Amino acid sequence: MGVRKIYLDNNATTPCDPRVVETMVPYFFEHHGNAASRNHPFGWEAEEAVDYAREQIAKLINADEKEIIFTSGATESDNLAIKGVYEMYSRKGNHIITVKTEHKAVLDTCNKLEKHGAEITYLDVQADGLINLAELETAIKPNTIMVAVMWANNETGVIQPMKEIGQICEKHGVLFFSDATQAVGKIKTHPRDVGVHLMAFSAHKMYGPKGVGALYVSRKNPRVKVTAQLDGGGHERGMRSGTLNVPGIVGFGKAAEIAMQEMDQDAARLSALRDKLEQAFLHEMEEVYVNGNVAHRMPHVANISFKHVEGEGLMMTFNQEIALSSGSACTSASLEPSYVLVALGLGDDLAHSSLRFSLGRFTKEEDVNYAIEAIKKGVNHMRDISPIWEMYKEGVDLTKIEWAAH
């Protein structure tokens, strides 16, 4: 009997659906052609496969297939969108508005541009993780070229008010870019419906393969252009050079097709399991807190703090069997916990005490049942050996203690 292994870290990456793998296999050997080889059947087959995948992906997001630019993943898509727009629209302005809880691929790209003369506004979020729309609107200036707000947050699952943000961008004539990596394939993400002009996403977060992603770039009303960040053969309508990852793209297409068919049933099943997990902790344990807005949240995600227990230590009680993430950053040299949770105004102590549960298509109810018991046991054990839990139980006000910060 092997060790039980339960995977509740689907926001980090999802397993590649076996149906996706099966579709990809012929494109490694049998149909190995380069999609840019225009003069022989190997190239034609590859091109045809890529075109088909592009259609499947376009359908999922209700876009035109010409609006899909293939990349190596969401990080590259984020870079291409932000740097590409910054360069292309430099005559219009140099100001970009983004949010403190964005993924590092957005934040670090913005930081880099700041060094090259960009002006970046990093919006705060409210305690529930949502941005304040009035603050966004106030931040827009004549030199603003783009607003970059992620569709759903990777740590908390909180979904931003996309439609309202889109309306504000429309009103002020600025581009709206969204990193939708955590949302595409899980919930409805139709950029045109909400006024998103550029949208980054990735195959491996939606049961496709790693190493392939896409950037949606609106082709009309408005026609958006980005300056290429990779120079070369002029693939992808000149926006992204580089030989296409044909098997990856084929898999991405299949993953999109499956997502389109199964998204609703997956979401309903997973939100029920997620709620069961969350309620078990909230009802059966003390000092448990859910982080982020629970009404505007991805169906498969829960971010929960177990007060007076350190997340990484807690994970060690069950990490041979259960995989998930913590907002504690005990491994980082800075000792800083999750910047996303800190931006929500959580104290560092609660951020250190957080676990992120992200369920997925292959999560079974028995996995969740097992995880509930294992994690409860782990929390109780860690509280038994936690001095601050003991102090809390004795009625000591922990905020009044002069801690020796180190």
Interface with another protein (CB under 8 A): 308-310, 312-313, 316, 328-333, 335, 337, 347-349, 352, 382, 384-390, 398, 403-406
Q: Cα 261–29–253 angle (5° rounding)?
A: 20
Q: How far is residue 296 from each of residues 53, 99, 156, 292, measured CA to CA in Å?
A: 31, 17, 10, 9
- The two most distant CA atoms of the chain are separated, in Å, by 79
> Is there a catalytic annotation at residue 169?
no
Q: Residue 284 CB, nearest distance to another protein (Å)?
A: 21
- Amino acid identity of residue 383, one-letter, is R
Burial of 406 (0-12, 13-18, 19+ CB in 10 A): exposed
Output 268 or 316, the one with its CB closest to another protein.
Answer: 316
Q: Residue 379 CB, nearest distance to another protein (Å)?
A: 12
Q: Residue 348 CB, nearest distance to another protein (Å)?
A: 4
Output 36 or 388, the one with its CB closest to another protein.
Answer: 388
User: Residue written as tokens 């429309």?
Assistant: 170
Output 76 or 310, the one with its CB closest to another protein.
Answer: 310
Output 218 or 291, the one with its CB closest to another protein.
Answer: 291
Sheet with 325-326, edge to edge strand ranges: 288-290, 301-306, 354-358, 325-326
Q: Give me 10's structure tokens.
A: 């689907």
CB 359 within 8 A of CB 10: yes
Spot the catalytic one: 16, 110, 169, 330.
Answer: 330
Q: Residue 304 CB, nearest distance to another protein (Å)?
A: 17
Q: Residue 118 CB, nearest distance to another protein (Å)?
A: 33
Query: Collapsing DSSP states into helix, strand and coil, what is residue 361?
Result: coil
User: Residue written as tokens 């990490």?
Assistant: 319
Output 290 or 388, the one with its CB closest to another protein.
Answer: 388
CB 154 within 8 A of CB 160: no
Q: Please give the positions annotated as active site.
A: 330
